[in-house]
Structure 1
Amino acid sequence: MLQKHIEDIQSGIKAGRYGNEASVSQGIVLRLLQALGWPTYDTQVVCPEYSLEGRRVDYALCHPASKPIAFIEVKQIGQSAGAERQLFEYAFHIGVPLAILTDGQEWNFFLPAEQGDYTERRVYKLDIVEREISESVARLDRYLSYAQVSSGQAIAAAREDYKNISRNRQMFSSLPEAWSKLVSEEDDLLLELLADKVESLCGFKPDLDTVAKFLREKVSLNSGGIQERERPIQFTKPAAAPASIEPRPQRQTIASEHPVGFTLEGKFHPCRNGREVLVGVFEALSVRDASFLERFASRPKHGRTRRYLARSPAELYPGRPDLAAEHFSKLKSGWFVGTNVSRAQIERIAEMACEVARLRFGRELTVNVGE
C-alpha cells in the first residue's frame, strides 16, 4: 500500500504537480502519514499549524493526544535548505525528540537533543525520487509509522542509528591521527608489511630501518590522502672566486661525539650498531639482575605481533618462519632476542627494559643506536 503511494508521488513530482508548499503538504505529507497509519482526520493526533508562543510548526504528531512527540516542517520542493534552525527552535522549545524537515521529495530526520551541528544531528536523509522504493518504504516505516512512533520504537531506532553514524564519524576523523602515530612510532607491523610488499615486488627485502626512513622522509598525510613529501627547492649560490683562506679545522662528527653504545649506571658500553646495543642492554641487565629476563619475557605485550625476548626464535615471530630463521641473537643465558627491529624500536625496547629493571630511562640507562 505504502509502495503504491510512493510510486504515485514520484510520478507527480516528476510531472510538476506539487508547485507550492500547500500542495506538498496536502498531496504528499498528509497522504504518506495516512498510509503510515496516522489518523490524519484527528487534529489532536495530527495537529496542523501547531502553535508555539506566536510561532507555528506545520504539523505536530502527538501521542498521547495533544502531546507532541514529533514535528514536521513542510517546504516547497527544492526550498528546504536552511530551514533546520527554525525547526530545531520549535523542537527545543518543548523537548520534542524527533524533528522532520521535508519538501515532499527529500525527508530529513533529526534528533534535536543530540550533539553536533544540524547535519550531525540528522539521522537520515531520504530522497523518495532517487532512492529505491523498498528503501523509501523501509525508512518511512522505521521513523514515521504511527505504530512505531506511538510505541517509542521509532525514537529508539533513530537514536541507535544516530549512535552508529556518530561512531563512524569519530572513527573516520581519528584515521589521520592513527596513521600519523603508526608512522611516527614506527609500528613494527606496518614496517613488516611494507618490507614484505617490497620483497614481493622486486625480490629484495629492505631492512626495517630503511622502511622507517622512507616513511619519515617521504610520506605525509593531508586532507587529500597519503602523499610523498615535496623536497624543498634548494638554491645553490654561484661558486666564489678562490681566495687564500686558512683552512678551518675539521669539525668533529656527531658519531664521534656520541658513539654508538649504551651507558648503564654511569658505565659506557661501546657497540658497533643498534642491534648490538639491543643485545648488550639485555645482557647487561641480566647480569645486574638474574630475574630480569624472565620478568621481561612475562610481560603480556611486547610488539603488536611479536615478542622481543623468548625461549626460541619461533616464539619471537609467531607465524613468520622466514623471520625466525635469521633475525635473532642468542644471549649467553640461552634466551633469544629478536633483531628485526628499527632504531626507534630499539629505543622503545630499551625503555621497556628500564620499566622491568626499575631504572630511569634516559638517566640510569641511555642508548645511542646511531644514525
Structure 2
Amino acid sequence: MSKRFAETIEELAKGIGAGSFRSEAEISQGVIKRVLHELGWPVFNVRVVAPEFKIGARKVDYALCHPAGKPSVLVEVKDLGKADSRGQKQLFEYCFHQGVPIAVLTDGREWSFFLPSGQGSYQERRFARLDLIDDDSVAAVEILERYLAFDRVKSDEGRRCAERDYDAVRRQREAASNYASVWRRLLAGPDPLLLELFSEEVGNETGVRPEPESAAKFIRRQAQAAVASQDGSKRTRTKRRKVTPVPAKVGPGDPPSLTFRGETETFKSGAEVLVAVFDKLASLDPDFCKRYPEQHSGKKRRYVARSRDLLYPGRPQPAASHRLPGGWWLATHCDNPSKVKRIMRACEVAGFKFGRDVIIHIPVGSRTRKTDQSTTG
C-alpha cells in the first residue's frame, strides 16, 4: 500500500468535509480523477479512462477500460448525498447494456461497489462500501486498490476479488437472516453446549454448579419470555405510539415514520426512528450490537459501543445517546442523512432488506437528499 495514497485520501476527506467540492463536476475532477491517478490509471488517456462514455443514448461518467475502449469498470459520479437508489438504478441500466464486471457509484465521499452479474436487488449486489470521511484512510486505500488498481484490473484479479467478496457477503446475509430462529431454537432446547456453558458460568460466578434440569428450565423460560415479548410487542406499541397502515406515499411534511415488517409507527423526530430501528434489531438478534461496530465505525469514535464514553471521545459530557438491549449504547447525535445511512447499514448487519423489511421516512432537507426514504430499496 502506498503511504502517499493514504495521505491523499486524508487530504480529500478533509476537503470533502470542508465543502471544497461543490458540484458533481468538481467531485469528478478533484476527487475521482485524483483517486484513479493514485490507482495507476493513465487519466489523460481517454481510450483507457474514458470520460462521458456513451452507452446507447446515455453516458456514464467514467469507463475504466482494458483493453483500450473495452470497459472493465463503470464509475458513476453524483453530487454529495445523491449516490442513492436512483443512482443505483441508472448505473445498473448502463451495466445491463455494456456487461461490465464491476460497477462503482460514488459521490466522492461514499463509494459503493457492485457486482452487476450478482443476484437480487441493487443493494444485494453491493459487495463493498467505504466512506472517505468516516473510514480509516489505510482501510480505504486497501478497498480501492483491491478492486480498482490498474494492474489488478488488467490482470483480472480485481474482478475475481469482487466475485469472491460478493459471494462471501451473500452467504453472510443468508446466515444472518437465520440468527433469530436459531437462537430461539437453542434456548428452547436447550442445546447441550449452551446448557454446559451456562452451568459453567454460573459455577464460576457462585461456586455452585446448578442442577442440569434447573438450568434447562431457566433457559426455556427465557426463550418463552422472549417469544411472548415479541408477540405482545404490537399490543404494547399501540398504547405508546400511533400505529397506522403503510402509507402509500410520504411527503416532506409528513412526520418521521418506521415501517417494520408491514407495521408503521410515527415519531416526533428522526432520532426516535433511529432508536426504534436499533432497539428492534438488537432485541431480535443478541449479537447485533457486537457485529455493528465491528463493521461500521468512524475513525475516532463508535456509533454503537459497550461504554457510553466511547460514543463521543474527547467530550467532557457525552452527547445524546440511548441504551440498547444487552447493555450497549447508541449515539443519536447526528444529522438526518447520517441517521438514514446508519439505519441502512444496520439492516445489512442484521440481514434485513432496507426498503422492504425496514422502511423509513426521515426528512433530510433540500441540499442533501430530498428523496422519499419510505421507498428506498
TM-score scaled by length of structure 2: 0.55
1:1-371 matched pairs, under 5 angstroms: 1-82=4-85, 83-220=87-224
Taking the aligned partners of 1:202 and 1:42, their CA distance within structure 2 comes to: 72
Structure 1 range deviating more: 161-170 or 65-74:
161-170
Following TM superposition, by how much is the alpha carbon of 1:38 offset from its aligned partner in structure 2, in angstroms? 1.1
Following TM superposition, by how much is the alpha carbon of 1:28 offset from its aligned partner in structure 2, in angstroms? 1.1
Taking the aligned partners of 2:111 and 2:64, their CA distance within structure 1 comes to: 16
Cα displacement string for residues 255-291 of structure 1 (whole angstroms, at most 9, x for unaligned residues): xxxxxxxxxxxxxxxxxxxxxxxxxxxxxxxxxxxxx
1:11 and 1:178, CA in 2 relative to 1: closer, same or farther beyond 3 A?
closer
TM-score scaled by length of structure 1: 0.56
Cα displacement string for residues 162-201 of structure 1 (whole angstroms, at most 9, x for unaligned residues): 2222232233222222223323333223223333444444
Taking the aligned partners of 2:216 and 2:10, their CA distance within structure 1 comes to: 58
Taking the aligned partners of 1:200 and 1:5, their CA distance within structure 2 comes to: 52
- The answer to whether the 8 Å contact 1:176/1:221 transfers is no
Following TM superposition, by how much is the alpha carbon of 1:148 offset from its aligned partner in structure 2, in angstroms? 0.9
For structure 2, which runs of at least 5 residues remain unmatched after alignment?
233-377
- The answer to whether the 8 Å contact 1:220/1:228 transfers is no
The structure whose Rg is larger is: 1
Taking the aligned partners of 1:28 and 1:18, their CA distance within structure 2 comes to: 8
* Root-mean-square deviation over aligned CA pairs: 2.6
Taking the aligned partners of 1:65 and 1:221, their CA distance within structure 2 comes to: 63
For structure 1, which runs of at least 5 residues remain unmatched after alignment?
231-371
Q: Which of 1 and 2 has higher RCO (CA within 8 Å, sep 6+)?
A: 2
1:49 and 1:222, CA in 2 relative to 1: closer, same or farther beyond 3 A?
farther
Taking the aligned partners of 1:8 and 1:54, their CA distance within structure 2 comes to: 37
1:87 and 1:199, CA in 2 relative to 1: closer, same or farther beyond 3 A?
same
1:121 and 1:228, CA in 2 relative to 1: closer, same or farther beyond 3 A?
closer
Cα displacement string for residues 290-316 of structure 1 (whole angstroms, at most 9, x for unaligned residues): xxxxxxxxxxxxxxxxxxxxxxxxxxx
- The answer to whether the 8 Å contact 1:107/1:125 transfers is yes
Cα displacement string for residues 120-147 of structure 1 (whole angstroms, at most 9, x for unaligned residues): 2212211112222222222211111111
- The answer to whether the 8 Å contact 2:103/2:116 transfers is yes
- The answer to whether the 8 Å contact 2:184/2:223 transfers is no
